[in-house]
Amino acid sequence: MKKNMKISIKNQSEIQKMRIAGKLASEVLEMIEPYVIPGVSTEELDRRCYEHIVNVQKAIPANVGYRGFQKTICSSINQVICHGIPDTNRILKEGDILNIDVTVIKDGWHGDTSKMYMVGKCQPHNQRLVKVTQECLYKAIEVVGPGAYLGDIGHAIQQHAESNYYSVVEDYCGHGIGNVYHEEPQILHYGKPGRGLEILEGMCFTIEPMINQGSKYCKTLQDGWTVETKDGRNSAQWEHTLAVTSNGVEVLTKRHEESI
Ligand code: MF3
Ligand code: CO
Ligand code: CO
């Protein structure tokens, strides 16, 4: 185990604030859904999310200014794995698969979540990628609880992805979250049962598997942010922020469409 690894345990009043931030983040993904249509630019989606967070939610878009990132959402289309930058020139077209990833800060606490949107009618192979990736997230959430291990999470994801002939991106991972955006521990999306840290009540972290149709390898574009698959095939991602409870897990960023 890594030395000096400080994993914060949140108390009930802190988790209550995480619950509020998580709810707001989930509501951004719900609010934007009707605007995800062919012809819209990712910049326009970003602007709508920014205005909703700032003007309606009276909250802070955590990505703005984060390590020099300038936008509210990451908008990652097709072969983009993560950290796609919203742009007026990037116009959605029928058949695209899009991930929108947003983090909201409310009262100092963070909620981080992402989902896939299908733009109009998508090809069956893309529909299947999106669905299996969401199942990876759900299967991972199912194993979370006090007494489980971080390796159980990674194993659940890797097992489901690989049995569907997909690969798991290893270069990016989930993370502890709280009054800090990215904190210990790292949540790997691959692994072996029973390995790694034991999960304890009061831990809060994200699970955010990135699953590729082809190989697991990534490349970062010249803009310093956009991460694409090396082979140009498509990738999908879903993310939730979780709190470990006494007997399981609470999904802090659950949307109304979800029955988890
Ligand atoms: N929300 C991403 C995550 O899931 C991080 C985005 S950082 C940004 O951890 F700077 F690209 F916005
Ligand atoms: Co995120
Ligand atoms: Co995250």
Q: What is the per-residue pLDDT across 59-92, written as a single tens digit (0 to 9) for each?
A: 999 999 999 999 999 999 999 999 999 999 999 9
Question: What mean pLDDT is reported for the chain?
Answer: 98
Probe ligand 1: pick from 64, 76, 81, 101, max atoms within 8 Å of CB? Answer: 101
**Cα 214 to ligand 2 centre (Å):** 23
Give the integer Cα–Cα distance in Å for 242 and 160.
Answer: 20
Per-residue pLDDT at 252 exceeds 70 = yes
Angle at 17 between CA 257 and CA 250, to 5 degrees: 45
Q: At what angle do helices 124-143 and 150-163 cross, to 10 degrees?
A: 160
Provide mean pLDDT across the span 217-226. 98
Under the banding of pLDDT at 50, 70 and 90, the label for residue 5 is confident
CB 130 within 8 A of CB 116: yes
The DSSP element (H or E) to which 236 belongs, if any, is strand 235-237
CB 101 within 8 A of CB 241: no
pLDDT tens-place string over residues 154-207: 999 999 999 999 999 999 999 999 999 999 999 999 999 999 999 999 999 999
Per-residue pLDDT at 253 exceeds 90 = yes
Helix (H, G, I), strand (E, B) or coil at 112: strand
**Cα 231 to ligand 2 centre (Å):** 23
Residue 79: predicted pLDDT: 99
Probe ligand 1: pick from 42, 99, 112, max atoms within 8 Å of CB? Answer: 112
Backbone angles phi, psi at 160, to 5 degrees: -70, -40
Q: Which of 29, 27, 30, 23 is nearest to 252 (CA)?
A: 23
Atom of ligand 1 nearest to the CA of 175: 9
Atom of ligand 1 nearest to the CA of 69: 10
Nearest CA owner, ligand 1 atom 2 = 101
Per-residue pLDDT at 233 exceeds 70 = yes
Instruction: Tell me the residue ranges of DSSP E strands in 58-208.
Output: 60-61, 73-77, 80-82, 97-106, 109-118, 167-168, 174-176, 183-187, 204-207
**Cα 3 to ligand 2 centre (Å):** 26
Atom of ligand 1 nearest to the CA of 63: 12
Give the integer Cα–Cα distance in Å for 179 and 44.
Answer: 29
Nearest CA owner, ligand 1 atom 7 = 63
The DSSP element (H or E) to which 45 belongs, if any, is helix 42-51
CB 8 within 8 A of CB 43: no
Alpha-carbon torsion (181, 182, 187, 188), positive or negative? positive
Provide mean pLDDT across the span 216-231. 98
pLDDT tens-place string over residues 117-150: 999 999 999 999 999 999 999 999 999 999 999 9
The token duo for 142 is 């199912």
Indicate the DSSP class of residue 190.
S
| pTM reported for the whole predicted model | 0.98
Provide mean pLDDT across the span 92-98. 99
Give the integer Cα–Cα distance in Å for 9 and 19.
Answer: 15
Atom of ligand 1 nearest to the CA of 83: 11
Alpha-carbon torsion (231, 225, 177, 105), positive or negative? negative
β-partners of residue 227 are 82, 220
Residue 41: predicted pLDDT: 99
CB 75 within 8 A of CB 46: yes
pLDDT tens-place string over residues 143-166: 999 999 999 999 999 999 999 999
